[in-house]
């Protein structure tokens, strides 16, 4: 529960609140947890370190407010104006930012897990601390990843490994063809590649298709077993036309026929000649 005195002070206005914060530097974490501040004018308010956990800030005006280190987990910020606010180091787990304006916010160190972001305006988000040159992105959920990619050598090495060594394997490998799959994986490993397998027995859902498309964009090349094609036509349809830099190597069990629509993909130069294999091949 919020401290009634702290809530009352804040509702007296930003000038009174900031003056109180300045005179009471020992109160580093004002208790505003669960407070109803819907529609409040808090532009330029010093709310640094404040506990605003589960507070209702739907439609609050927080332009230029200092919310660095403020506890915003579970806070309701629907429609809030947070333009140019300082959110550095603020925990925001499960916060509801539906329809909020985050333009120009500093979000370095923000904990952005399970946010509600429908209709959020998020442009020019500053992902660096105050003492570093400003780097901006337009998506709070990818901000931490971008910062780590720029500043963490290990993260960059992982990305380089994925993009240079990952090989996406698509197909339906039944029990009698598992030996082929194992051989394929082993050969790729010998050549210092990283095999990633999608083995479908049913048509792919939209989520799976999007995942495969993402992995294909990071892969060095794709190996697609088109024998008994089920999901393969759908997967190749989202991979081949848009990824000319990713070669596709089709595989086909000897004695099987290519599915009818596969002829369409042969028109793309990055789809290689189909390789036919025996069921007992190792």
Same domain, 120 and 135: yes
| Beta-sheet pairing, 125-126 with 275-277 | unpaired
Check pLDDT > 80 for residue 200.
Answer: no
Same domain, 44 and 122: yes
Same domain, 94 and 184: no
109 assigned to some structural domain: yes
101 assigned to some structural domain: yes
Same domain, 233 and 208: yes
DSSP-derived 3-state class of residue 220: coil
Question: What does the pLDDT look like over 12-70, one tens digit per residue?
Answer: 999 999 999 999 999 999 999 999 999 999 999 999 999 999 999 979 999 999 999 99
Task: Enter the pTM of the model.
Answer: 0.64
Nearest-angstrom CA–CA distance, 27 and 214: 48
Mean pLDDT computed over 87-104:
95
224 assigned to some structural domain: yes
Same domain, 136 and 161: no
Check pLDDT > 70 for residue 3.
Answer: yes
Nearest-angstrom CA–CA distance, 256 and 147: 49
pLDDT for residue 61? 95
Same domain, 170 and 268: yes
CA-wise closest residue to 47 among 58, 33, 39:
33
Same domain, 117 and 26: yes
Nearest-angstrom CA–CA distance, 77 and 91: 13
pLDDT for residue 204? 52
Same domain, 136 and 236: no
Q: Residue 282 — very low, low, confident or very high, per pLDDT cuts 50/70/90? A: very low
Check pLDDT > 70 for residue 178.
Answer: yes
pLDDT for residue 274? 92
282 assigned to some structural domain: no
Same domain, 175 and 105: no
State the residue range of the domain holding 206. 157-277
Nearest-angstrom CA–CA distance, 42 and 122: 20
Same domain, 108 and 163: no
Give the CATH number, domain containing residue 93. 2.160.20.80
Nearest-angstrom CA–CA distance, 97 and 88: 16
Nearest-angstrom CA–CA distance, 185 and 222: 13
Specify the higher pLDDT residue, 81 or 197. Answer: 81
Q: How far is CA 71 from the centre of its chain?
A: 22
137 assigned to some structural domain: yes
pLDDT for residue 199? 58
């Amino acid at each position: 529960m919020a401290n009634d005195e702290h809530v009352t002070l804040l509702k007296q206005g930003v000038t009174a609140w900031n003056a109180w914060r300045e005179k009471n530097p020992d109160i580093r974490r004002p208790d505003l947890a669960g407070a109803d501040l819907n529609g409040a004018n808090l532009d330029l308010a010093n709310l640094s370190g404040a506990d605003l956990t589960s507070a209702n800030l739907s439609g609050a005006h927080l332009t230029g407010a200092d919310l660095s280190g403020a506890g915003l987990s579970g806070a309701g910020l629907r429609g809030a104006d947070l333009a140019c606010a300082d959110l550095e180091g603020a925990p925001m787990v499960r916060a509801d930012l539906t329809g909020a304006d985050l333009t120009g916010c500093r979000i370095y160190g923000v904990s952005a897990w399970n946010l509600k972001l429908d209709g959020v305006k998020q442009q020019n988000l500053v992902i660096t601390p105050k003492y570093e040159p400003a780097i901006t992105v337009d998506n709070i959920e990818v901000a931490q990843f971008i910062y780590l990619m720029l500043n963490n050598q290990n993260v960059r090495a992982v990305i380089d490994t994925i993009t240079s060594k990952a090989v996406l394997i698509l197909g339906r490998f039944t029990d009698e063809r598992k030996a082929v799959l194992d051989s394929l994986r082993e050969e790729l490993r010998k050549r210092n590649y990283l095999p990633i397998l999608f083995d479908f027995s049913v048509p792919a859902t939209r989520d799976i298709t999007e995942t495969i498309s993402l992995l294909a964009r990071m892969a060095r090349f794709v190996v697609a077993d088109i024998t008994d094609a089920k999901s393969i036509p759908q997967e190749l349809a989202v991979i081949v036309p848009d990824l000319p830099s990713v070669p596709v190597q089709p595989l086909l069990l000897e004695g099987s026929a290519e599915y009818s629509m596969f002829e369409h993909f042969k028109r793309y130069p990055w789809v290689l000649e189909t390789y036919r294999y025996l069921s007992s091949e190792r």
